[in-house]
Structure 1
Amino acid sequence: MLSAQAHDGIERILVSGHQANLLGQSMSASEGVLGQPEIEIRPMLRTGELMELIPGMSATQHSGSGKANQYFLRGFNLDHGTDFATYVDGMPVNMRSHGHGQGYTDINFLIPEIIAQVTYQKGTYYGDVGDFSGAGSVGFSTQMTRRNGIASVTLGEDNYQRALIADSVNSGSRNATLYAFEYQTYDGPWSDIDEDVDKLNGVLRHSIRLDDGVLTLGAMGYHNEWNSADQIPARAVQSGLINELGSIDPTLGGKTHRYSLNAIYTTADYALSAYAIDYGLSLFSNFTYYLDDPINGDQFEQVDDRMIYGASGSWHINNNFTVGFDTRYDDIGEVGLYKSEARERIGAVRSDRVDEWSVGSYVTHDYQWTGRLRSTVSLRYDYFDFDVASRLQQNVYDVTLTHNNGQESDALWSLKGSLNYLLLDDMEVYLSAGQGFHSNDARGTVTRIDPNSGDRVDPVDPLVRALGYEVGMRWRPSNQFNSSVALWALEQDSELLFVGDAGNTEASRPSFRHGIELAAYYNVNDNLSFDLEYAYTDAEFDDALADKYIPGAVEDILQLGATHRFGDNWLSTLRVRYIGERPLTEDNSVRSDSSTVVNFLLAKQWKNWSAQVQVLNLLDSNDHDIDYYYASRLQGEPTTGVEDLHYHVMEPRTVRFELSYTF
């Protein structure tokens, strides 16, 4: 996710954002580039909603504010990342073999005000993306310099407080240092707990302009602690045991950190990057309450403690060829699962040390056949090596865990490409196809004994193939109007599904999904603009079994937006997000309801000052952010548990006021 143009072209490209002219530049109709102008006018409840800048994607939450969001795209309930690759300044965000779930993607360490560029690519057609690429990828690039410094304070209901300062300092004409620091607290609207969020972010970036390129050195630091209001059973609300803002287990929560160092060197012909990341998570959850352990309860702690080292590079050769590589090593000191009660460990289910290493390389050939016809073909190779060793001889269930020690490796070749034709001067059509994949949890590739039951199980495949194809069109008749449409399909050898009563992801059945995506952006004039993004998906398991529905596969996602600049430096934005129904069981006998949320922003600027008010969930909807259907047990219920809907309600209407000063 790093190209030679990734940094020196940011400001030039992103003046237009969604209105950028990608005719003759993009490989498909479902990729795009945008930046700070779109971010600063978008009302957002959470940092994770930056992902909703990607047309067709939705970000929700089923737990505390410090946990990675739930993402929905192209019929995937991506849980917290699974089949969508995310990068920040060339560094991967998805966590392999993670304590909570494969591909876990937490972007709470991002500071929205210093994001310079967001580049998204949906589909499996891009040679520079390897793991977690089934649904697509996104790359966030942070600023190297700022025109102005900014200091802001935000206050809101439920003890929401946020302070930010960011600026850059030039040292001569060739050196610049950017800094940004953010602190946030939040208690949330919940009736039984205070989230007590304690979030701290810091960024330092030093850039040096050399004769042939730019060298950037970066450091990021993120720390967060919180309490969680997790999903709740519908029967508990219906019986009056709790209200919709209540909790069954009020002792849930977690803490996490991410510290990173990276270096990026870009020239007109090549780009190189290297990074080191220190990451940790301790997460307490309880989805089934008293089903497995009627005495102590079913609370569990998921632990992840690792270092990640990696590098990537790309070279442009003769204007037609690009060759590149990426390598990553996860040195996981512990990835573990513990039974707990009120955040105190009472026994270990599993605790492993994992070494996971991968290397990928690719070559891409671009060719302009005529003035209107061009093609792109990529060949990619990926190799993975897994080494798993239990840190325990036996677990709390007296299961011998050393049977699950082992080594595994796997490799894949992937072929990708597109054919693009400029049908008219303002219209381009695309035919794209490609192979992608996601890796499975290293522990699953060598597990032979179930750590809960002691039963024998079969290891999963290390790498799971995906095949995607797409027909699309992009139409930009003027600088005021930009639109795209894509008809796409994706076959996957194995789904990664979130298991609500286990609190993790597991490999499942093969699947096939197809759909259509529409996007349109219209600037009526310099003061008024509208946007529409719609995605429809039909997703099914693709095998001989009768129950073919994929739980959590959203069928419709719609976003509408309007922005109006008026008067003396006033601005208002209104946004609507609709998430359609989805099956919650494989036989489609239980379905979620749809949900709609409306957000509003009003801002005023004068001299060096600006003020804004955000009204989030303007209509005070009590729709659900997330729904699951599984068995759980409340105290006094049958020991076999009760199948029920479990959900997390949207946060009620909340108002936040921000005051900013530029210097």
Structure 2
Amino acid sequence: MLLLSISKIIQAQAIEELPSIEIRSTARTRIGMGGAASEGMVSSERLAAMPLLRPGDVLEMVPGLIVTQHAGDGKANQYFLRGFNLDHGTDFATYLDGMPLNMPSHAHGQGYTDLNFLIPELIETIQYRKGPYSAEEGDFSSAGAARMHSMRTLEKSMAQFTLGPGGYQRGLLAGSPVLGTGHLIYGLEFFNNNGPWLVPEQNRKLNAMLRYSEGSRSNGFSVSGMAYNNRWTSTDQIPQRAIEQGLIPRFGSLDPTAGGITSRYSLSGEWATKTSTRQTRANVWLLQSSLDVWSNFAYCLADMQANNNCNTGDQFKQTERRLAGGFAASHTVLSTWGRRDMTHTFGVQGRQDQLSPVGLFNTQQRETWNTVRQDRIQQRSLSLWAQTEIRWTDTLRTITGLRGDSFDFRVNSSLPANSGQQSAQMVSPKLALIWRPTQSNELYLNYGQGFHSNDARGTTIRVDPNNPSQSASPVPGLVRTSGQEIGLRRDVLPGWQSTLAVWQLDSASELLFVGDAGTTEASRPSRRFGVEWSHVYKINRHWGLDADFAWSHARFKDFAPEGIMIPGAISTTANLGLRYEPASPWSGTLRLRYFGPRPLTEDGIVHSAASSMLNLRVGYKVSPRTQWSLDVYNLRNSKVNDIEYWYASQMRGETQAVMDRHLHPAEPRVARLTVTHRFE
């Protein structure tokens, strides 16, 4: 009985901490608690030490994940992981306090994930998983998922102000006063930036967060409200030939009216309760968002083909007005089967998105002159999942899971032929075998099936919106993926944890709704495999090191004359960070990121260039409450690109279309100075 009681106490503690724990400036998955080698957690201390060019860069603390940008900084980032060009978020699920951030059937791209509303100083942890191995993760999570958690309290209220070249200004006011039996936490942010661009970016952002909480994340509740508004002028990717011919400089633009306006307002709540043998969690959320984005990637190509002139050009507008809401709940029960400890978890998730409307328009200098298509969409999903962990012996355990998803798509289109209703269902099994031969080593074998949803408009399409006389083929609502992984987690030395994962992921079809064209393209089945090796090392009280290296191989599975390479598929990445934590008034962080080459064409003839970026943060405490910090991005002033594409475009004055490399340059060396004052 005593042993059983001790076992239940240990398991109850695991409910609160599963799957990860935090250890000062290093957060990691504890040996004997994780479900895969490729999962883990990043702490607020590591995030606070990181020099951030953009808010979305916090996700670069997920090993192997690259975050970049191909347009204005008010737009969602571009993400790369495990052989994927994830575009703006497809196949990587992101959450904040249980609220999903990926947007399905989005005007600009399926799974669009705009993280510009994040206030990095108020993020407590990032829990990440890679691969489709967890029953809890559903849509968009085949490559991985990240669950960010906001802080519930601050040790002290703070005011922060940052200045930099290019008109950079950022101000933040945050605090957490006691209110009744709980705490308020608030954050108010303003942001202005023109950047290094010839056409000033005029990025103007206002951001606010207010949260009330009682208790802890495992036994308490919170209610959060957020408001965000952003507008910007965009220097999109430009053709390399325009730079080489001297038509524009490297930081120039061929359309000074590209850009966007976006807003996001949300209300969410979390609740959790636990006993020695049970844990229940639930969250609900409501979101209202809008986006208007003007882009021009081909300049005069379509106009010349249609009219043999370039009077209007190829600028287009994508717009949407979204109202969405959802919920999630799970219940965990600890039990025994003979002498075997068991943990059962059951969950339900639901979501509804209403877009009224979502549209694609031809524009000139942000003035609309033609409607390509305009739709009203209702999309619903309901998911049930269950997972059981059995500890067969002190060294062997298994995790089995099953997930069922049901989606309903309704489209009311300005082109009646493209209106309709479709539904899709999918069942996804999961399995993990975990063996711990010693106290400092754990081996993992994982298998799982997953999926990503397609844009609702793709499921009901019958005619090409750009040419209604031409038919178009609909695509299934859900696309299955299947993954396997072998991994090792090892405590090499006290404070040093190393993980190694060898993985493979198959996709039935890389089906995409192409927002730029308003139609759907179905690509071929694909296979990706690779290796990831990561380290987190707390060297001593003051020094910390993290390093991750990733290699992947991505190919279409069937043969085609154009080739088998997957354009944009990342092959190699590396991220190294060295941190010095205060033993004196000084602190510092140095980070190196390597972004490997990618094929830009299916035949593999054209590749992007590799790039490396070195960023630095140096801090100095002038008093116990006041600190100055200097962030230097692109310390070596490397002339590299954030993104590269290969496609046809036609500039004004050209007589025919030209296949060319299109690039968005990374910012040159830039320094920003921040002063932070904490109040008593």
TM-score > 0.5 by shorter chain: yes
**Superposed displacement of residue 560, structure 1:** 1.2
Amino acid at match of 1:235: R
**Counterpart check, 1:200 vs 2:217:** no
**Superposed displacement of residue 86, structure 1:** 0.6
State the SS of the aligned residue for 2:242: helix
Amino acid at match of 1:521: V
Alpha-carbon displacement from aligned partner over 1:563-614 (angstroms, at most 9, x marks no partner): 1246622111111111111100001111111011110000012210011000
State the SS of the aligned residue for 2:73: coil
Amino acid at match of 2:195: G
Alpha-carbon displacement from aligned partner over 1:323-349 (angstroms, at most 9, x marks no partner): 001000001111110000111111110
Q: Compared with structure 1, are the counterparts of its residues 248 and 591 closer, same or farther at alpha carbon in structure 2 (3 Å cutoff)?
A: same
Amino acid at match of 2:192: T
Taking the aligned partners of 1:443 and 1:308, their CA distance within structure 2 comes to: 17
Match of 1:175 among 182, 192, 200: 182
Alignment of 1:289-328 (within 5 A): 289-293=299-303, 294-319=310-335, 320-328=343-351
**Counterpart check, 1:114 vs 2:122:** yes
Taking the aligned partners of 2:252 and 2:300, their CA distance within structure 1 comes to: 17
Taking the aligned partners of 1:180 and 1:235, their CA distance within structure 2 comes to: 45
Amino acid at match of 1:278: Q
Counterpart of 1:231?
A: 237
Amino acid at match of 1:412: M
Amino acid at match of 2:184: T
Taking the aligned partners of 2:453 and 2:59, their CA distance within structure 1 comes to: 22
User: Normalising by structure 2, what TM-score?
Assistant: 0.93
Alignment of 1:352-391 (within 5 A): 352-390=375-413
Are the equivalent residues in 1 in contact too, given 2:99–2:285 (CA < 8 A)?
yes
Taking the aligned partners of 1:232 and 1:107, their CA distance within structure 2 comes to: 24
Q: Compared with structure 1, are the counterparts of its residues 433 and 53 closer, same or farther at alpha carbon in structure 2 (3 Å cutoff)?
A: same
**Counterpart check, 1:625 vs 2:632:** no
Amino acid at match of 1:418: A
Alpha-carbon displacement from aligned partner over 1:259-290 (angstroms, at most 9, x marks no partner): 00011111121011111000110000000000
Are the equivalent residues in 1 in contact too, given 2:20–2:41 (CA < 8 A)?
no
Q: Compared with structure 1, are the counterparts of its residues 491 and 11 closer, same or farther at alpha carbon in structure 2 (3 Å cutoff)?
A: closer
Alignment of 1:26-105 (within 5 A): 26-105=34-113
Are the equivalent residues in 2 in contact too, given 1:349–1:452 (CA < 8 A)?
yes
**Counterpart check, 1:285 vs 2:302:** no
Are the equivalent residues in 1 in contact too, given 2:68–2:643 (CA < 8 A)?
yes
Counterpart of 2:340?
A: none
Amino acid at match of 2:283: S
Alignment of 1:585-604 (within 5 A): 585-604=601-620
Are the equivalent residues in 2 in contact too, given 1:534–1:559 (CA < 8 A)?
yes
Counterpart of 1:248?
A: 254
**Counterpart check, 1:271 vs 2:288:** no
**Superposed displacement of residue 7, structure 1:** 11
Q: Compared with structure 1, are the counterparts of its residues 213 and 197 closer, same or farther at alpha carbon in structure 2 (3 Å cutoff)?
A: same
Q: Compared with structure 1, are the counterparts of its residues 358 and 77 closer, same or farther at alpha carbon in structure 2 (3 Å cutoff)?
A: same
**Superposed displacement of residue 14, structure 1:** 2.2
Counterpart of 1:494?
A: 509
Report the more deviating stretch, 578-587 or 543-552. 543-552
Q: Compared with structure 1, are the counterparts of its residues 159 and 506 closer, same or farther at alpha carbon in structure 2 (3 Å cutoff)?
A: farther
Q: Compared with structure 1, are the counterparts of its residues 567 and 365 closer, same or farther at alpha carbon in structure 2 (3 Å cutoff)?
A: closer
Alpha-carbon displacement from aligned partner over 1:132-185 (angstroms, at most 9, x marks no partner): 01101000110111111111000011011000011111134x311111111100
Amino acid at match of 1:324: G
Q: Provide the alpha-carbon RMSD of the alignment.
A: 2.0
Q: Compared with structure 1, are the counterparts of its residues 496 and 528 closer, same or farther at alpha carbon in structure 2 (3 Å cutoff)?
A: farther
State the SS of the aligned residue for 2:23: coil
State the SS of the aligned residue for 1:132: coil
Report the more deviating stretch, 431-440 or 515-524. 515-524
**Counterpart check, 1:436 vs 2:444:** no
State the SS of the aligned residue for 2:302: coil
**Superposed displacement of residue 317, structure 1:** 2.0
Alpha-carbon displacement from aligned partner over 1:203-224 (angstroms, at most 9, x marks no partner): 1111134999312111011110
Q: Compared with structure 1, are the counterparts of its residues 592 and 212 closer, same or farther at alpha carbon in structure 2 (3 Å cutoff)?
A: closer
Amino acid at match of 1:386: F
Taking the aligned partners of 2:655 and 2:488, their CA distance within structure 1 comes to: 56
Q: Compared with structure 1, are the counterparts of its residues 339 and 330 closer, same or farther at alpha carbon in structure 2 (3 Å cutoff)?
A: same
Counterpart of 1:526?
A: 541
Q: Compared with structure 1, are the counterparts of its residues 463 and 498 closer, same or farther at alpha carbon in structure 2 (3 Å cutoff)?
A: closer
Counterpart of 2:471?
A: 456
Alignment of 1:478-517 (within 5 A): 478-496=493-511, 502=517, 506-517=521-532
State the SS of the aligned residue for 1:445: helix
Taking the aligned partners of 2:466 and 2:604, their CA distance within structure 1 comes to: 29
Amino acid at match of 1:427: N
Taking the aligned partners of 2:222 and 2:558, their CA distance within structure 1 comes to: 49
Counterpart of 2:425?
A: 411
Q: Compared with structure 1, are the counterparts of its residues 598 and 241 closer, same or farther at alpha carbon in structure 2 (3 Å cutoff)?
A: same
Alpha-carbon displacement from aligned partner over 1:46-97 (angstroms, at most 9, x marks no partner): 1111110100000010100100000000010000000000111111110100
Counterpart of 2:338?
A: none
Taking the aligned partners of 1:499 and 1:448, their CA distance within structure 2 comes to: 15
Alpha-carbon displacement from aligned partner over 1:475-520 (angstroms, at most 9, x marks no partner): 0133321110000000001115696974998442110000000001
Amino acid at match of 1:198: R
Stretches of structure 2 lacking an aligned partner (at least 5 in a row): 1-11, 304-309, 336-342
Alpha-carbon displacement from aligned partner over 1:5-42 (angstroms, at most 9, x marks no partner): 99975999323454535211111010001221011100
**Superposed displacement of residue 442, structure 1:** 0.2
Alignment of 1:344-355 (within 5 A): 344-355=367-378
| % identical equivalent positions | 43
Kindly tell me the number of residue pairs found equivalent between the two proteins. 648
Moved over 4 A (4+): 4-12, 496-506
Amino acid at match of 2:298: T
State the SS of the aligned residue for 2:416: helix
Q: Compared with structure 1, are the counterparts of its residues 169 and 588 closer, same or farther at alpha carbon in structure 2 (3 Å cutoff)?
A: same
Taking the aligned partners of 1:498 and 1:324, their CA distance within structure 2 comes to: 30
Q: Compared with structure 1, are the counterparts of its residues 344 and 232 closer, same or farther at alpha carbon in structure 2 (3 Å cutoff)?
A: same
State the SS of the aligned residue for 2:177: strand
State the SS of the aligned residue for 1:49: helix
